[in-house]
Structure 1
Amino acid sequence: MRVELFDFDLPPELIALRPVSPRHAARLLVAGSAGPLQDRRVRDLPEVLRRGDVLVFNDTRVIPAQLEGRRGEARIGATLHKRVDLRRWQAFIRNAKRLKPGDRIAFGGDVNALAEHRLPDGAWLLFFEGDEPVEALLDRAGTIPLPPYIAGKRPADQHDRDDYQTMFAREDGAVAAPTASLHFTPELITALDAAGIERHTLTLHVGAGTFLPVKVDDTADHRMHSEWGRIDPAVAAALNRAKERGGRIIAVGTTSLRLLESAAAEDGSLHPFAGDTDIFITPGHRFRVVDGLMTNFHLPRSTLMMLVSALMGRERMMEVYAHAIAQEYRFYSYGDSSLLIP
């Protein structure tokens, strides 16, 4: 499909630079495949969902994966996006023309990495020196890698260490938050439990590739970056049981949805999963497990705009986004949310 089909004009003032407080006070646009749209709040989820529905959250934790350093006199920026082993990470490099294989980058705080070689996709493989766990080195030298549309307007600060982390975060490895889950609070979870809404978690370590623009004219020519994920056997079994008794599987975030669909069999059953996925969901995809999606509002021409169009239909999503813009919903990572149930 032509990438231009997923374009729209967004007033820049609708890009949220900070989250609302409390988090569950964010607005929620509820949409089915047809019919009127509902303007609600995230705190209304217990009455919008049905008893027996299942919410699936991503429990990845964002690490301080943005690094600034020097190779000699040259300034080098690195955004880690995928772990390779205990000491090696793939990284997108700023000022990469000043880097060659074997160069040592000093990131400050006694944190150093060797640039081993450039990868086919243009990223670099970095080896972090020393005996300390790389996570400890990043805590000392790194910052939270805010999305470009926020970082271009303000620097990351101490507030982002909390704001850009979900209440479910426990598995270190993401360089971008699963932002649909940012809206949840203990108070909301208590209300969902009381309403009979089941919940489970999986892990998908979101990579910086999620922010890369689609540079081709046709979706068939776009290559997704792979990300590592895991669905435990107990979670897969619980979701299969929920489907059998008629519960709807609602993915909280596109990351949860992509991993669920990666682990789905042809018959719609869900299998345990551990490994990489580079699934690219565009219109025409047959959804096997997911019955609905809670997600924030996405960038024009992005792979995530294509994903929600695959779920709801492109024309319907254009209606949803036109309504969101007209009603001045807040967009992107720190913005408002939508509940899409085809």
Structure 2
Amino acid sequence: MNLEDYNYHLPEELIAQKAFYPRDHCKLMVIKEDKFLHQKFYEIIDFLQHGDVLVINETKVRRCKLIGKKETGSPVEVTLVKHLGNNFYETRIKGKPKVGKKLIFVNLTGKIIKQEEDCFYVQFDREIREEECQLLTPPYIKEDVPEEDYQTTYAKVSGSLAAPTAGLHFTPELLRKIESKGVKIARLQLDISYSTFLSIRDIKTHQTGKEYFSLDNKNAEIINSAKGNIIAVGTTVVKCLESCNWENNRIKATEGISEIFIKPGHQFKAPLKAMLTNFHLPKSSLLLLTSAYAGREQLLKAYNEAVKKKYRFFSLGDAMLIFK
């Protein structure tokens, strides 16, 4: 499998820098029966039927970015990846710091204890409150993003370092209309790790980060009782469903840590009829996951069509609904 096969040309001006308002009025490409249909997102309801189940990820993006300076006075940006206890954190740091050096923030200091490749372990002098931090947004977004634009309207449990972006397009009103049509909504949680930002160097050796996930009995039963199609809202939902335990084509309530890397050739356990997702970065793990579901050739044709039609790409961009 050649990583270059999952590359495509994208004009920089098509990388969305701001959220679309209203959020359910962005573009939606529907891939169905080898056709590309161009809709508005709120028209997704026309592709859902009574008895369908829409599966969403309720994770909430947590603030995890600290802006400070090194002892030299030069700026430094620290991402708090994981709290390991006693104010000791696994972090990622911009600014090329050295082990043993201090990091200085407002009413807070830290010391770099060790480094393992791109990961820095920092001992802080006190507990860090989430409200002291900023949201971490992808590096291709150059403008400040209001927090409400980078959270789904149904986000509940803080834990992710990035947004489950396919869900950003739903408004509470649209979800109510979908439910009033007889579509059930199943809720699960998968906390997105820092690995979502990392490039793939080699498909064979690539490893994803550890991501907490949970599906309870109530929502497992909603999925199992589907009378119509099961539709996954986003790659994170697909990862969670594929990480859960299945028995006789029925999903079981499961909680755990997922390290699954879904790529072309993956045999799906979940009987998904459709997947909703955004347009992903070239050669990314999310593009490989989407290719595993939709097929590489069809997906790249859709991406080329989206470029021609001036769709907006990546986290704050437009959406696509893929039927199998």
Using the size of structure 1 for normalisation, the TM-score is 0.88
Identity across the alignment (%): 33
Q: Is the 8 A contact 1:80 1:208 kept in 2?
A: no
Aligned in 2, Cα 1:128/1:241: closer, same or farther, shift over 3 Å? farther
Other-structure match for 1:283 = 264
- The amino acid across from 1:76 in the alignment is V
Give the letter aligned to residue 165 of structure 2: T
- Given candidates 289, 292, 296, the residue that maps to 1:310 is 292
Write out per-residue CA displacement over residues 55-83 of structure 1, whole angstroms, 9 at most, x where no aligned residue: 11111111221212234225432122344
Higher helix share: 1
2:250 pairs with 1:269: yes
Task: Note the aligned Cα RMSD (angstroms).
Answer: 1.9
Counterpart residue number, 1:81: 81
Residue of structure 2 equivalent to 1:301: 283
Give the alignment's TM-score, normalised by structure 2.
Answer: 0.93
d(CA) in 1 for partners of 2:85 and 2:258? 17
SS in 1 for 2:225: helix
Partner of 1:106: 104
8 A contact 1:67–1:79 mirrored in 2: yes
Equivalent residue, structure 1, for 2:56 = 57
Instruction: Please tell me whether residue 194 in structure 1 is matched to residue 185 in structure 2.
Output: no
Aligned equivalent of 1:178: 164
Following superposition, the deviation at residue 191 of structure 1 comes to 0.9
Q: Does residue 122 of structure 1 match 2:100?
A: no
Q: 1:199 to 1:127 in 2, by over 3 A?
A: farther
Whole-angstrom CA distance in 2 between matches of 1:333 and 1:8: 17
Which amino acid in the other structure matches residue 69 of structure 2? R
CA 1:190–1:221: 2 relative to 1, 3 Å: same
Tell me the CA shift for residue 111 of structure 1: 2.8
Please give the secondary structure, in 1, of the residue aligned with 2:204: helix
Q: Counterpart of 1:8?
A: 8
Deviations 1:235-274 (A, max 9, x none): 22221222xxx43221111111111111142643222222
Residues 266 and 128 of structure 1, relative CA distance in 2, 3 Å threshold: farther
1:9-50 alpha-carbon deviations (Å, 9 max, x no partner): 001111111111111101111113x42111111101221112
Corresponding residue SS for 2:146: helix
Match among 210, 230, 242 for residue 214 of structure 2? 230
Rounded to whole Å, the distance in 2 between the matches of 1:273 and 1:70 is 42
Picking from 198, 201, 204, the partner of 1:215 is: 201
Residue of structure 2 in register with 1:239 after alignment: 223
2:320 corresponds in structure 1 to 338
Q: What is the deviation of 1:115? A: 3.1
1:145 aligns with 2:143: no
Higher strand share: 2
Structure-2 separation of matches of 1:230 and 1:128 = 30
Kept in 2, the 8 Å contact 1:266–1:288? The answer is no
Residues of 1 paired with 2:201 and 2:104: CA distance? 32
Counterpart residue identity of residue 112, structure 2: A
1:294, 1:328 → 2: CA distance?
Answer: 19
Give the SS at the match of 1:148.
Answer: coil
Greater shift, 264-273 or 185-194, is seen at: 264-273
- Aligned residues between the structures: 322
Q: Residues 293, 82 of structure 1: CA spacing in aligned structure 2 closer, same or farther, 3 A cutoff?
A: farther
Pairwise CA distance, 1:117? 2.9
How far apart are the structure 1 equivalents of 2:120 and 2:221? 38
Distance in structure 1 (CA, Å) of the matches to 2:322 and 2:86: 38
1:238 aligned partner, one-letter code: I
CA contact (8 A) 2:245 2:254 kept: no
Task: Describe the SS at the equivalent of 2:311.
Answer: coil
Structure 1: where are the runs of 5+ without partners? none
SS at 2:147 equivalent: helix
- SS of residue in 1 equivalent to 2:287: helix
- Counterparts of 1:161-176 in structure 2, within 5 Å, are 161-176=147-162
**Distance in 2 (alpha carbons) for counterparts of 1:57 and 1:276:** 18
Q: Residue 245 of structure 2 contacts residue 253 of structure 2 at CA under 8 Å; is this kept in 1? A: no
SS state at 1:64 partner: coil
Secondary structure of the residue that 1:220 maps to in structure 2? Answer: coil
